[in-house]
Amino acid sequence: MTTSHTGTPPTTPDLIYGFSVVVPAYNEGLAVGDVVRRIIETMTSTGQPFEVIVVDDGSSDETAIGAAGGGAMVISHPQNAGYGAALKTGITRARFDHIVITDADGTYPIDRIPDLMAHADRFDMVVGARTGANYRESWFKEPARIILGAMVQWVTGTAIPDVNSGLRVFRTTLARQYFHVISQGYSFTTTITLAALSNGYFVKYLPIAYHRRVGSSKVRLARDIPRTTQIVLQACVYYNPIKLFLTFAVGTAILAVISWALYLLTESLPVGITAGLLTVSVIHFIALGMLADLIRVRNVPRAPTLTSHASSATTSHTIAPD
């Protein structure tokens, strides 16, 4: 994917140029300290201003101690609030105009963060698209991932190599702008992808390796798949309602045509009434879709224009991590 804007975008009054690395952590005491140390080593090598924020999401182990020992600023939730809630807490506390997110379990290649950062001035979001056997993980998760990806691609109309990767770089303002619709749970990454692509932001994907995690996975498919499906459908209503209503209209129109054909063959009054009602429903769905899209245009925030996004590159400066 190409883009037309270059250079470092203007910062908002409360943000300065640099990268805030936000790491959500829940019972990751075995791995988080090493992950933080590798983040600090990698970020220092870039020469860019940065900070490392670990949000301990109500852990019952020594996650906070391990993160602090590794050199991160630690923010602790009094109880488990969710993956997305932890990220939102870190993003809210961030000082810099770009956010880097990664997991605390060692699955993502920390050494690839500079590769993502290299595109951060030209794209609003840069995502590490996972590859390899550890990403496929199981025969059950793979079909669920394919279905989720297809649903999100249907909403956005864009090919998406990895809809919910947890290694990505994005503008702080982008995330904060859509906090009210971004998920509090594991669908944070899915919903911020939907928000970005549905509202004209530029997103780039880079292939990355995906490692075996330290400890046990916190994802529960029986719980998380229904939640994610609900969130994707809600996002469709919010970002692209006319597509949803037109889909209903097309389905209803097919039923109406079948009903009219049966009526011509049978001259059955109930079949004729059904065909008439289905025809009226098609008009209703189209009208509702147009109305919903008008409401969306008036109320959903959009990406900045290319003219306002572009600026001359600024001179980089270095701030040592706290």
* 258: containing domain: 241-299
pLDDT digits (tens, 9 = 90+) for 125-136: 999 999 877 666
Confidence at residue 244, expressed as pLDDT on a 0 to 100 scale: 83
194 with 227, same domain: the answer is: yes
**Rounded average pLDDT over 249-264:** 94
The least confident of 102-116, 126-140, 164-178, 184-198 is 126-140
**Residue 135 has what pLDDT?**
62
Number of domains forming the structure of the chain: 2
The answer to whether position 207 is within a domain reads yes
Do 204 and 247 fall into the same domain? no
pLDDT at 1: 34
169 and 291 in a single domain? The answer is no
For residue 89, being part of any structural domain is answered with yes
Q: What single-letter amino acid sits at 22?
A: V
Lowest-pLDDT choice from 138-142, 145-149, 293-297: 138-142
CA distances from 72 to 22, 60, 68, 276 (A): 10, 19, 5, 65
DSSP code for 110: G
CA dist., res. 303 & res. 94, Å (int): 21
Is the same domain home to 200 and 250?
A: no
At 236 the pLDDT is: 74
Residues 202 and 219 in one domain: yes
Same domain, 143 and 183: yes
Mark whether 166 and 279 lie in a shared domain.
no
Measured between alpha carbons, how far is residue 40 from residues 47, 68, 74 in Å? 11, 12, 14
> CA angle 171-176-179, nearest 5°?
130
Please write the tens of the pLDDT for every residue from 176-199: 999 988 888 888 998 999 889 888
CA separation for the pair 301, 264 (Å, rounded):
49
Q: For residue 157, what pLDDT is reported?
A: 81
Average pLDDT value for the chain? 83
Q: Based on the domain organization, do 159 and 295 belong to the same domain?
A: no
Same-domain check for residues 71 and 201: yes
Domain with residue 133: its CATH number is 3.90.550.10
Would 310 be classed as within a structural domain? no
47-56, 68-77, 107-116, 217-226: the lowest-pLDDT one: 217-226
- Please indicate whether residue 61 or residue 297 has the higher confidence score (pLDDT): 61
| 127 plus 266 within the same structural domain | no
CA dihedral 299, 300, 306, 308 (to 10 degrees): 60
pLDDT surpasses 50 at 6: no
153 and 53 both lie in a single domain: yes
pTM of the model: 0.76
Q: Is residue 311 part of a domain?
A: no
Among 237, 255, 290, the domain-final residue is 237
pLDDT of residue 233: 74
What would the pLDDT profile of 258-316 be if each residue is shown by its tens digit?
A: 999 999 999 899 999 999 999 999 999 999 988 888 887 777 666 554 434 444 333 33
**Please, which residues have CB within 8 angstroms of residue 317's CB and are 6 or more apart in sequence?**
17, 49
Nearest by Cα to 19 from 169, 234, 173: 169
